[in-house]
């Protein structure tokens, strides 16, 4: 099993798409910091005007709504001192990193099927589910690198573009990063399953984009509002979705939310990896 993990790590190392995606993430994060800074200035200006005219802002009241599409919520940055954690959390909650994670997962998993390379390794492995486990390990490495790059570029970008920024590296920052790492890995595991099931890059990519843009959460939210015999059985279902957790996880999560995130991660790892492994074991190559 270690050999196949080593093989996939070597492939990751040699994968041009991995470097391209990481470079795009780096550039995107720098650009995003700059754009958010401009948005904040505009928001502050608008808020100032609305205070004068007596209008109220509803920016902070939309936490219960389901986000559709990839967008930044800059309201957390509307304060005098912005920390690295605030900026980092704003970046991650936009789900842009989730989108890149999904794209790379599809490229990595489907690449093996599309090229036919899987034929070379299936007979070398004692158990086929090692192949799935190996992909999960590689994706955990990739997600970790992604988050580190995001953190670095957010820090660098904020230092350059923000006047009221303080590079405050705290335990909370690492706690938030750890929880988001788990959620991104859980999402990667979902996309591994989709790629294994469909064996089609285009379909997997579309599903990945739909999930990142919140379409899945929207559907689940709608379904959860339907009641059966007067009982709203699925009312809390959206709270346990990977994508909605990525978007709603705050920079200062309570222990209850942290446990929920860990629970979501464990269940995703077990259920989706189990499905992928079963399909891989039974399927003819």
Partner 1 sequence: MREYILKTNNLTKRYKKQKAVDNVSLNVEKGSIYGFIGRNGAGKTTFLKMISGLAEKTSGDIELFGHKGNEVKNVYDRIGVLIEAPGLYPNMTAFDNLKLKAICMGIYKKNYIREIIECVGLGMVGNKKVKNFSLGMKQRLGIGMALIGEPDLLVLDEPINGLDPQGIVDVRETIMKLNRERNITIIISSHILEELSKLVTHYGIIDQGSLVEELTKEELYEKCSERIEVALDEPEKACTILDSLKIHNYKVVNSKTIHIFERLEEVADINMEFSLNKIKISSIGVNKDNLEKYFMDLTGGVENA
Residues 222, 73: Cα–Cα separation, whole Å: 23
Q: Which stretch binds partner 1 (CB under 8 A): 67-75, 109-117, 199-207, 255-263?
A: 109-117
- Report the distance separating Cα 209 and Cα 77, nearest Å: 27
The one among 63, 126, 229, 231 contacting partner 1 by CB under 8 A: 126
Q: Give whichever of 120 and 166 is closer to partner 1, judged by the CB atom.
A: 120
Query: Residue 129: how many CB atoms within 10 A of its CB?
Result: 17
Residue 48 touches partner 1, criterion: CB under 8 A: no
Q: Which stretch binds partner 1 (CB under 8 A): 114-122, 199-207, 222-230, 233-241?
A: 114-122
Q: Which of 6, 41, 79, 225 touches partner 1 (CB under 8 A)?
A: 6
Residue selected from 116, 163, 171, 255 as contacting partner 1 according to rule CB under 8 A: 116
| Gap between the Cα atoms of 282 and 285, Å rounded | 9
Q: Does 118 bind partner 1 (CB under 8 A)?
A: yes
* DSSP states of 207-261: HHHHHHTTHHHHHHHHHHH--BTTB-TTTTGGGG-HHHHHHH--SS--HHHHHHH
Helix, strand, coil in percent for the chain, rounding step 5 = 75, 0, 20
Identified binder of partner 1 from the candidate list 56, 123, 231, 255, rule CB under 8 A: 123
Is residue 19 a contact residue for partner 1 (CB under 8 A)? Answer: no
- Helix (H) or strand (E) holding 199, with range, is none
Q: In the bound complex, what is the minimum distance in angstroms from residue 282's beta carbon to partner 1?
A: 7
Applying CB under 8 A, among 4, 29, 138, 192 the residue interacting with partner 1 is: 4
The single residue among 38, 50, 120, 250 that binds partner 1, judged by CB under 8 A, is 120
282/194 Cα distance (integer angstroms): 16
Beta carbon nearer to partner 1, 239 or 281: 281
């Amino acid at each position: 099993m270690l050999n196949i993990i080593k093989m996939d790590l070597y492939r990751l190392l040699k994968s041009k798409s991995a470097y391209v995606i990481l470079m795009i993430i780096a550039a995107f994060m720098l650009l995003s910091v700059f754009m958010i800074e401009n948005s904040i200035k505009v928001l502050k200006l608008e808020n100032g005007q609305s205070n004068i005219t007596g209008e109220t802002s509803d920016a902070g009241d939309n936490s219960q709504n389901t986000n559709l599409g990839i967008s930044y919520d800059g309201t957390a940055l509307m304060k005098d001192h912005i920390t690295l954690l605030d900026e980092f959390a704003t970046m991650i909650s936009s789900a842009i990193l989730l989108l890149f994670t999904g794209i790379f997962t599809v490229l990595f998993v489907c690449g093996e099927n599309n090229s036919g390379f899987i034929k070379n390794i299936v007979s070398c492995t004692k158990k086929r589910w090692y192949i799935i486990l190996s992909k999960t390990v590689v994706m955990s490495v990739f997600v970790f690198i992604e988050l580190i790059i995001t953190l670095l570029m957010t820090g660098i970008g904020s230092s350059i573009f923000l006047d009221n920024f303080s590079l405050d590296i705290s335990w909370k920052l690492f706690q938030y990063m750890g929880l988001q790492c788990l959620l991104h890995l859980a999402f990667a595991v979902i996309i591994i399953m989709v790629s294994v099931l469909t064996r089609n890059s285009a379909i997997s990519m579309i599903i990945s984009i739909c999930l990142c843009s919140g379409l899945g959460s929207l559907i689940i939210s709608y379904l959860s509002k339907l009641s059966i015999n007067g009982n709203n059985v699925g009312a809390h279902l959206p709270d346990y979705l990977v994508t909605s957790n990525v978007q709603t996880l705050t920079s200062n999560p309570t222990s209850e939310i942290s446990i929920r995130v860990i629970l979501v991660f464990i269940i995703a790892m077990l259920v989706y990896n189990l499905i992928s492994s079963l399909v891989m074991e039974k399927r003819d190559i």
